[in-house]
Amino acid sequence: MNIGDVADRAGLPAKTIRYYEEIGLITPARAENGYRRFSARDLHKLAFLKRARALGFSVEECRHLLALYEDQGRASADVKALAQEHLARIDAKLEELAQMRRTLAELIESCAGDHRPDCPILADLAAQEATSAKAGGR
C-alpha cells in the first residue's frame, strides 16, 4: 500500500503517518523509487496508534504501548500500570476543569450583566493577576 491507501484505511492524515515514521513509531519499507510501501502490519500499527492517541496517550506512551504490544513476553501488569497512570492524569485534569467551571459559574452568577461598568468577573481576573504578580515578584 502507498501512503494514500494506508492513510484512507487507517483513518489518519498522510502528514501524521509521515510524522510517526519520522519519530520512529513505524518503519515502512521503501520501494526502489524511494516511495513508502506499507504492509498490513504497518496498517495495524497505525490503527493501534490512532486508537491510543484517541484515548489521550502521549506519543511517548504510545511508543511504550507499541513496545509492550510487540513483546510477547510482556507482563500485562506493565500495560495496566501505564493505563492507570494515564487515567490518574485524566482524573486530575477533570477535577481541575470542574474547579474552573465552579469558579466561573460563581463569577457569572455574581455579575449583574447590566449597563453599569462594575463587573465581578473582571475584578476577580484583575485580583488574580495582582496576586500572581506579587507572588512572582518575591
**The model's pTM:** 0.78
Query: Which pLDDT value is given to residue 24?
Result: 95
Please tell me the predicted confidence (pLDDT) of residue 9. 97
pLDDT tens-place string over residues 67-79: 999 999 999 999 9
Given a cut of 50, the residues of the chain with pLDDT beneath it are none
Residue 133 is predicted with a pLDDT of: 63
Task: Note the residue count of the chain.
Answer: 138
What Å distances lie between residue 64 and 71, 77, 81, 83, CA to CA?
A: 11, 13, 12, 11
pLDDT of amino acid 92: 98
